[in-house]
A and B are shown apart, each in its own frame.
Chain A
Amino acid sequence: MSTTPPNVDHTNAESPVTTAHSQPTPLWGTTGQAPRRIPWARLASTGLLTALALFALIGPLIWRQYTSQDLSQFLQPPSLAEPFGHDHLGRSVIARLAHATRLSLGLAIVCVATAATTGVALGLLAAWRRGWVDQMLLGISEIFLALPALLIVLIFAALASGEMWTIYIGIALALWVEYFRVVRARSVSVLTSPAIEAANLLRLGPAHMLRRHLWPELAPVLLTMASLGMATAVLAMSTLSYVGVGLKPPTAELGLLITESLPYYHEAPWMVTAPIVVLLLLLAGLLGLRAQEVRR
């Protein structure tokens, strides 16, 4: 070391010293690579959701008839061909379950997609324009926040009872607010940051800001919220059917399936257990994904 000349130049970019420089300053107690843990929770929930999605996609193709009644099959116990037996009207329980899962998952995806698109678009608009647009949208969102989500869905369900679109619009209306609020709050802080000031001075357009500044900041939060929102939507749908204001029989829906089979709880416990288990697995899968909080 003592041979280092006083005005040594810095061409030695590969030397270990310079590499040491480029290391970020260690945060006390957490230097070095964090030990990589295998994300068991995420693997398990992804597997679970894949299995359920396959059941929802392929199931209805295998067990096509979910409404055909055959009273001679009244409360037939499970067999190899019919893993969950037949219900009180002699309908195949597995077929109804497959169709119900497809309906729940499909409607949940559509609801969340609608709510997220609306919420993100309005949130970005409010954060970008500020002023009266922001104030107005904030006011509207506060009205929705003040009402319980289920009440909104119930109001729509009351308009046209048992129709699919009322459920869809009701749930989407209940869900968009959270996307709006979160996206707006995060975008405001990003858009007022020095990074955006620098991007403006560099004359980089809105596409750059959206892609490099806003999207990387919003995406992880949105994914978390979407999986939680799906769980909410599935649960809301089942709750509505269960209390009798949702979809009408003979549509196969998880909540409806539970209501229908409850009176035969003693004679055919498998019949009421099956939809409950599917519902629980669906929620567990979605919440397991959500357990991967945004860790930075």
Chain B
Amino acid sequence: MTIELLDVRVNHQGRALVDVPRLTLEPGQAVTIVGESGSGKSLLAHALMGSLPRSLQVQGDIRFGADRSCLADVGARRKLWGHRLALLPQEPVLALDPTMRIDQQVAEGHPRFLHGRRGRLDALEQASERLAGLGLHNVHNTYPHTLSGGMAQRVAFAAATIGGAQVLITDEPSKGLDPVARDSLARLLSQHVEHGGALLTITHDLDLARALGGELLVMQQANIVEHGPAEQVLTAPAHPWTQRLLAAEPNQWVPSWRGAGASSADATPLIEARGLSKAYGGLPLFSGLDLEITPGERLALTGPSGSGKTTLGGILLKLVHPDAGEVIHHPDLADGRVQKLYQDPTVAFPARTPIRAGLRDVTRRHRVDPERVNMLMDRLRLDPSLLDRRPGEISGGELQRIAIIRAMLLNPRVIFADEPTSRLDLLTQQETMDCLMNQVSEQDAALVLVTHDIGLAAAVTDRNLSLDNADPVSMAPARVD
């Protein structure tokens, strides 16, 4: 059954957040919407689902085959949830109930779950079968916190589709997943399409869009600016905005800071690590690892989730004790000349304090001219009024840039960046990395970048240390495209 959305408009206080004249979902077809954050793509999905916040006004019609109803009639759509329409939420780790075993959670979506004891048992059996079919054999009665991001995503997929919904809407399904988990997710979603389902995917991950194929729509500022078959749009973009989006992929970057940091191989290393070993819960992450970080060098730590990248970084920064081996810091690194950037910058700032107050403490403590904050804010094109807000009240990209400013106030020699852009969309990622790398080369600092994005590692760093489980430690220069 075809679903059509006609003249969708979502307004907030008179401003149009979504303005889409037509969107068609056909059975057996994948539709993907890409765009930067704030372009309204998530709102479009929630308008279709009928789960928009109450403060937004929605206009337009929805057509299910022959019957047509108003998009604002949320109650009618709510009845279709589960068995006709399903939503795979963002960040399944947060969407799953932490206090429920996963098979119970999945079973709740089954149509017979509320039909007495027998129905409940049937539902549970079906849920276990479904989880086993997704490769989750032995975990069906565990709790969500024991799962990896990719596994949690599959559980959420099972829960969303057990009701037999033909139309599946997924909102940023690949957020926080490493490439392996993302590929298996793409296969899963493609299977749904092959079985005759309709799929609407909202993402800013162009690799996922490529893997899904089908129809691709590009959204910018509430409007769809380009649409067509995915291969065509992604290889020969017609609209300038799409071109810009594609140019923001790391392997397309033309960086101005490339080669700026002269890596002096003979210089004394800033951080020297010998024979590092660390195990986590009985499983060795790495052992006998030697590593040197010289001034001005750019090193990438790559590997799938859970391979110990962050732990190794923590050891290098002397925040975590290794099981064996030692880390020697050059005396130059005393007094805060090693700084760290976090994946989620909101957790790195005091939550209830305006950002300005936090930065003032830094400038006072290190006798930095407070004017430098304003100068850097200006250089990084950030509105000074952002500083009066609290960390949770500004966007991730902006806060990450403020975190870069905060780190730069101490003139660091080593910057350890732990997935600094993995939660950001491509354009914001490019902007943030640009800002980071400009600062790094200006300060002539060494950079250690933790990432699971090989493309990003290749674009930014000169050396790549891969912590793959299959091949524990391999040192190889990163490919430069």
**Chain A interface (Cβ < 8 Å from any Cβ of B):** 1-2, 4-8, 10-11, 13-14, 16-18, 20-32, 193-195, 197-199, 201-205, 208, 212-213, 216-217
Contacts and interface: CB of A to CB of B under 8 A. Distances in A.
Nearest to A24: B393
Contacts of A24: 392-395
A10 B395 CA distance: 15
A195 B395 contact: no
B340 A197 contact: yes
Contacts of A197: 319, 340, 348
A21 B317 CA distance: 33
A28 B51 contact: yes
Contact of B37 (A8, A11, A21, A28): A21
Contacts of A6: 240-241, 243-244, 247
A78 B248 CA distance: 85
Nearest to A16: B15
A194 B386 contact: no
Given A17-B38, A24-B395, A195 B348 contact: yes
Contact of A212 (B12, B220, B335, B357): B357
A204 B350 CA distance: 12
Interface string B347-390: 11111110001100110011000000000000001110010000
Interface string B322-357: 000000000000011011101000011111110001
Interface residues of B, number: 56
Contacts of B223: 1
Given A22-B394, A26-B53, A203-B366, A2 B240 contact: yes
A213 B353 CA distance: 8
A7 B434 CA distance: 14
A212 to B, nearest CB: 4
A201 B336 contact: yes
A6 B244 CA distance: 5
15 contacts: A6-B243, A7-B244, A22-B395, A22-B398, A23-B38, A26-B53, A27-B53, A28-B53, A194-B342, A195-B349, A197-B348, A198-B342, A203-B336, A203-B410, A204-B365
A202 B339 contact: yes
Given A13-B382, A193-B347, A213-B350, A1 B220 contact: yes
A195 B398 contact: no
Q: Which 8 A-B pairs have the closest CB atoms?
A: A216-B352, A32-B55, A203-B336, A31-B53, A198-B348, A212-B350, A6-B244, A194-B347
Nearest to B395: A21
Nearest to A197: B319
B84 interface: no
B468 interface: no
B188 interface: no
A193 B56 CA distance: 35
B431 interface: yes
Nearest to A19: B383
A199 to B, nearest CB: 8
B169 to A, nearest CB: 14
Interface in B377-421: 381-383, 386, 392-395, 397-398, 406-407, 410
Given A21-B37, A32-B55, A202 B362 contact: yes
Contacts of B398: 21-22
Interface of B: 12, 15, 37-38, 46, 51-56, 220-221, 223, 225, 239-241, 243-244, 247, 317, 319, 335-336, 338-340, 342, 347-353, 357-358, 361-362, 365-366, 381-383, 386, 392-395, 397-398, 406-407, 410, 431
Given A1-B220, A202-B336, 14 more contacts: A1-B221, A1-B241, A4-B241, A6-B247, A13-B383, A21-B38, A22-B383, A193-B347, A197-B319, A198-B349, A201-B339, A202-B365, A204-B365, A212-B353
A291 B392 CA distance: 26
A208 B393 contact: no
A29 to B, nearest CB: 5
A13 B350 contact: no
B55 A212 contact: no
B19 to A, nearest CB: 11
A24 B241 CA distance: 24
B365 A205 contact: yes
A172 to B, nearest CB: 29
Contacts of A198: 340, 342, 348-349
A199 B361 CA distance: 10
A212 B241 contact: no
A17 B221 contact: yes
Contacts of A14: 383
Interface centre among A7, A25, A195, A197 (most CB of B within 10 A): A195
B347 A2 contact: no
A198 B348 CA distance: 6
A193 B347 CA distance: 7
A202 B347 contact: no
Contacts of A31: 12, 53, 55-56
Contacts of B351: 195, 216-217
Given A17-B38, A212-B358, A7 B247 contact: yes
Contacts of A213: 350, 353
Given A197-B319, A198-B340, A2 B225 contact: yes
A199 B239 CA distance: 45
A159 B425 CA distance: 69
Contact of B386 (A22, A29, A203, A208): A22
B302 to A, nearest CB: 22
